[in-house]
């Protein structure tokens, strides 16, 4: 019998391509954010020394439009945002290693909708950890996720429970995306969650993993059914530590 030749795993080629593509996008984003930072720093210094104040930004925008019309995003509004970006974080050492890890669009959302430096820090870390898209971040900002997280983080939980886990188990949840009528049954509620599972996991936290619906468990020889079962990866590791 001839020896079987193993089939090569072509998925490795796809993985290499996808990894390189992701790294290229990160590199581009890093350079873009650094450019916006440098432009913002220049404009901030220019405005502070010019007798025209912030009106000088109009002159800069007009100069760019005339001399490099193919460059997009450097109108007065865009330039002012770069200046605001630099001035918001220039003395914030906490942010220095984080700024280039977030897209410019998400930076603008965080700056415009956060009320304090602590809140900005929170959403920046959350963006990096959860890899939020613009839509996901905007939804969390609009639903006051930060305030709900901070209120929930003070709950009485086992001492070994990390702050991340404390905050991820919220006291209140905003489920507007379910689009349920004023009166609905428990079954309709459950079905709506399954139909909108991606948005539901965004609300309750991406550390949760969906296990199943009407999940059967046996207790004392009797069968019981859990409507919806979710597994929390971090909380599970905390439980294992407590049992040691």
Nearest in space to 104 (alpha carbons), one of 89, 85, 122, 129: 85
Q: What are phi and psi of 88, to 5 degrees?
A: -70, -40
Residues in the chain: 244
Distance CA 178, CA 196 (A): 7
Contact 193, 178 (CB under 8 A): yes
- pTM for the model stands at 0.67
Nearest in space to 34 (alpha carbons), one of 120, 117, 121, 99: 99
Q: Which residues in the chain show pLDDT less than 50?
A: 1, 156-162, 165-166, 238-239, 241-244
What share of the chain has pLDDT > 70, as a percent?
82
> Secondary structure of the chain in the HEC alphabet?
CCCCCCCCCCHHHHHHHHHHHHHHHHHHHHHHHHHHHHHHHHHHHHHHHCCCHHHHHHHHHHHHHHHCCCCCCCCHHHHHHHHHHHHHHCCCCCCCCCHHHCCHHHHHHHHHHCCCHHHHHHHHHHHHHHCCCHHHHHHHHHCCHHHHHHHHCCCCCCCCCCHHHHHHCCCCCCCHHHCCCCCCCHHHHHHHHHHCHHHHHHHHCCCEEEEEEEEEEEECCEEEEEEEEEEEHHHHHHHHHHHC
pLDDT of residue 234: 64
Nearest in space to 201 (alpha carbons), one of 107, 108, 132, 151: 132
pLDDT of residue 61: 94
pLDDT of residue 155: 52
pLDDT of residue 72: 87
Residue 66 burial class via C-beta count within 10 angstroms: exposed 0-12, middle 13-18, buried 19 and up: exposed
pLDDT of residue 161: 41
pLDDT of residue 159: 47
pLDDT of residue 59: 93
């Amino acid at each position: 019998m001839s020896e079987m030749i193993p089939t090569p795993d072509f998925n490795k080629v796809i993985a290499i391509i996808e990894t390189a593509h992701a790294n290229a996008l990160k590199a581009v984003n890093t350079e873009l954010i650094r450019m916006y930072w440098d432009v913002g720093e220049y404009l901030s210094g220019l405005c502070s020394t010019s007798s025209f104040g912030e009106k000088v930004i109009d002159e800069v925008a007009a100069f760019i439009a005339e001399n490099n019309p193919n460059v997009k995003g450097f109108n007065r509004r865009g330039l002012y945002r770069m200046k605001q970006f630099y001035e918001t974080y220039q003395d914030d050492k906490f942010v220095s290693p984080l700024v280039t890890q977030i897209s410019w669009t998400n930076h603008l959302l965080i700056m415009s909708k956060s009320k304090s430096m602590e809140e900005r820090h929170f959403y920046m870390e959350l963006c990096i950890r959860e890899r939020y898209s613009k839509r996901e971040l905007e939804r969390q900002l609009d639903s006051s996720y930060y305030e709900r997280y901070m209120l929930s983080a003070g709950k009485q939980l086992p001492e070994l429970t990390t702050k991340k886990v404390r905050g991820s188990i919220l006291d209140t949840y905003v489920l507007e995306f379910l689009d349920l009528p004023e009166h609905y049954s428990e079954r309709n509620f459950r079905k709506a969650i399954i139909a909108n599972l991606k948005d539901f996991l965004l609300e309750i936290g991406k550390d949760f993993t969906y296990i199943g619906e009407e999940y059967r468990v046996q207790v004392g020889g009797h069968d019981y059914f859990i409507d919806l079962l979710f597994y929390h990866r971090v909380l599970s590791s905390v439980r294992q530590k407590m049992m040691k």
